[in-house]
């Protein structure tokens, strides 16, 4: 084969490789430009991230997620309200540093929070139990913890209502110290139970 033919063949091969490379680069550039708001060089990573996110969302049971959010949210709100009343408001009432009207307003809000939270925890917790299935609780550590949480929920509801009732009866007579003394033991016990309820909820959240 002559040197001219070899050079011609080599030139054609190089030209073909160059055209293929240019075509591939052009295709990549077109792909990059087809994703608005994405910087060049990162479309694949962004696409994988979005695909993973949508895949996770598609596997979620939205009602169950909402039940968990409501359950945990109101459990924390209720526990915080009872603890605040027991360890911040009650000492002021025992010293007589607070007037009957503000104490009555706080008591009414705590009573409302107790009733709303108790109902929502019952409904959301019942839905989660049905969703998970009874076999997950029968003869298991999780079942024992859930049963204990139900007992604590009943006790917390009762103690909170009794404490609020004592405070309300006293503030209706423009008294502060006497109803605070009557409600002290019940409200402090309710605060301890509320913290214990949160601890058990945290243990269950670990997947026990």
Could you give the CA distance from residue 195 to residue 166 in angstroms, rounded to a whole number? 22
pLDDT: which is higher, 128 or 41: 128
Q: Which residues contact 82 (CB under 8 A, 6 or more apart)?
A: 110, 114, 156, 160, 187, 190, 191, 194
Could you give the CA distance from residue 80 to residue 62 in angstroms, rounded to a whole number? 27
Could you give the CA distance from residue 188 to residue 191 in angstroms, rounded to a whole number? 5
pLDDT in tens, 51-89: 665 555 566 778 888 998 999 899 999 999 999 999 999
Q: Where are the domains of the chain?
A: 3-58, 61-205
pLDDT in tens, 106-143: 999 999 999 999 999 999 988 988 888 877 778 788 88
- Using only C-alpha atoms, the chain has a radius of gyration, in whole angstroms, of 33
pLDDT in tens, 95-113: 999 999 999 999 999 999 9
98: left (phi over 0), alpha (psi -120 to 50) or beta: beta
Distance between start and end Cα atoms, the chain: 79
Around 192, how many Cα atoms within 13 Å sit in the side-chain half-sphere? 6
Q: What integer best gives the mean pLDDT of the chain? A: 79
Q: Which residues contact 3 (CB under 8 A, 6 or more apart)?
A: none
Which range is most confident: 8-12, 30-34, 55-59, 164-168? 164-168
| DSSP helix, strand, coil percent of the chain (3-state; round to 5) | 85, 0, 15
């Amino acid at each position: 084969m002559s040197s001219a033919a070899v050079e011609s063949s080599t030139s054609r091969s190089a030209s073909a490789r160059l055209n293929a490379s240019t075509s591939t680069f052009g295709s990549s550039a077109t792909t990059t430009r087809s994703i608005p708001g994405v910087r060049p060089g990162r479309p694949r990573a962004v696409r994988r991230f979005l695909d993973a996110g949508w895949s996770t969302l598609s596997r979620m049971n939205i009602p169950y997620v909402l039940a968990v959010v409501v359950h945990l949210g109101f459990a924390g709100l209720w526990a915080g309200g009872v603890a605040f009343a027991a360890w911040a408001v009650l000492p002021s009432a025992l010293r007589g540093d607070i007037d009957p009207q503000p104490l009555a307003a706080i008591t009414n809000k705590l009573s409302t929070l107790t009733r709303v939270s108790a109902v929502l925890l019952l409904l959301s917790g019942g839905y989660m139990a049905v969703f998970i299935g009874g076999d997950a609780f029968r003869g298991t550590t999780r079942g024992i913890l859930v049963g204990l949480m139900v007992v604590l929920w009943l006790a917390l509801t009762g103690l909170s209502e009794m404490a609020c009732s004592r405070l309300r009866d006293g503030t209706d007579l423009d008294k502060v110290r006497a109803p605070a003394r009557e409600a002290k033991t019940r409200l402090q016990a309710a605060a301890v139970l509320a913290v214990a309820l949160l601890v058990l909820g945290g243990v269950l959240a670990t997947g026990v």
